[in-house]
Amino acid sequence: MEKTKVLFHVSENEVWPKALTNIQNFLKDVSDNQVEIELVANAGAVNFYYDNDKVNLHEQMSSLSSRGVKFAACRNALQAHSLKEELLPEFVQVVPGGITEIVKKQSMGFIYIKP
């Protein structure tokens, strides 16, 4: 059976808690080996990866990552906000462009969700 592929798109910091809850709730309904999930952050949402006041949410992201959820940050947005790639949490991969990643994943059959 082919995995269900889901792409979450976060472009605003205030959406992060909702997006992470959406992913957790989704994973309650399907087994980890039946789904491929990626969350792409672009625009101002990339700042969240660096927010040390959000330790509990960073722990939640790390836990989701250990279950196979992929987290991506847009390089264009990182550069626009003068953020250093090497300071990202280890579970975050950098993609050249958030929108490019979204288009690529949708062409691969990912279902797009913007919480």
pLDDT-derived band at 23 (thresholds 50, 70, 90) equals very high
Q: Is the pLDDT of residue 52 over 90?
A: no
CATH number at residue 77: 3.40.1260.10
At residue 2, the pLDDT reads: 86
Give residues with Cβ within 8 angstroms of 104, minimum separation 6.
Answer: none
Q: Provide the number of structural domains found in the chain.
A: 1
pTM of the entire predicted model: 0.94
Averaged confidence pLDDT in the chain: 94
Domain of 85 in residue numbering reads as: 4-113
Q: How many CA atoms lie within 13 A of 10 on its CB side?
A: 25
At residue 51, the pLDDT reads: 82
**Are 47 and 13 spatial neighbours (Cβ–Cβ below 8 Å)?**
yes
Q: pLDDT tens, 28-39?
A: 999 878 999 999
At residue 19, the pLDDT reads: 97
pLDDT-derived band at 58 (thresholds 50, 70, 90) equals confident
What whole-number percentage of the chain has pLDDT above 90? 87
List the structure tokens of 97.
């462009």
DSSP-H helix ranges across the chain: 16-29, 55-66, 75-80, 98-107
Alpha-carbon distance values, 53 to 50, 59, 89, 90 (Å): 9, 12, 14, 18
